[in-house]
Amino acid sequence: MGSELAAEIGRLTEDLGAMCAIAADILRWATVGLVRSDVEAPTRIGPALAEADELHTSIGERAFAILSGDKPAAPELRAALSAFPISAAAHRMGGLAANVDRRRQDGVQVPDEALDVFDGMGRHAVALAERVRAALLSNDADEARRIETDDQVTNDLHRALFAMVHDD
């Protein structure tokens, strides 16, 4: 791998890590706003979401540029191809959290008995985004596989929330 290409892949990885950090922040602020009725924390969501949008676009463009380069080798192909779903997932996490906050702003009330589940979901999502960021920046493929396969906590929280909604 040439030094220029290696540097670009390094920047791409750093930006993916930054997207995960932004998603974690947005998730944290939306959760605090919803669960604790905090009106200040969610005010940071809009600017952070705009930054995530810019990074998402930039990452996609740069990953395509790597793919369209002169005969990228397997490591470059893996780095460029993995950038698309990672960027999309981080972007989606931030967007979903922003949607949760918009519902809070619209006056949608969460029943008290569901607040603990939403708090757990938010805290777990933040931890997940932070784990993805750490795995990316340390290039830890084993941790990335563990994240993908052992996310039982999210499934349990979704089931608990569904049970609450179904019981009503």
pLDDT in tens, 114-151: 888 889 989 989 999 999 999 999 989 899 888 877 67
Q: Which two tokens stand for residue 68?
A: 């369209």
What letter would DSSP give residue 39?
Answer: S
Q: What is the mean pLDDT of residues 73-88?
A: 90
Q: What angle do CA 81, 83, 88 make, to 5 degrees?
A: 115
| Pair 101, 115: CB distance under 8 Å | no
Q: What angle do CA 137, 65, 145 make, to 5 degrees?
A: 35
First-to-last C-alpha distance (Å) of the chain:
58
Q: What is the pLDDT of residues 35-79, one digit of tens each?
A: 888 888 889 999 999 999 999 999 999 999 999 988 788 888 888
Angle of helix 112-138 versus helix 141-149 axis, rounded to 10: 160
Q: Is the dihedral of CA 156, 18, 35, 103 positive or negative?
A: negative
Kindly indicate the confidence band of residue 26, based on its pLDDT and cuts at 50, 70 and 90. very high
pLDDT over 90 at 164, yes or no:
no
What letter would DSSP give residue 107?
Answer: T
Cα 5 to Cα 129, 146, 151: the distances in Å are 27, 29, 34
Q: Which two tokens stand for residue 129?
A: 């985004």
Say which residues have a Cβ less than 8 Å from residue 92's Cβ, sequence separation at least 6. Answer: none
Q: What is the mean pLDDT of residues 94-117?
A: 85
* Predicted pLDDT of residue 73: 85
Distance from chain centroid for Cα 116: 21
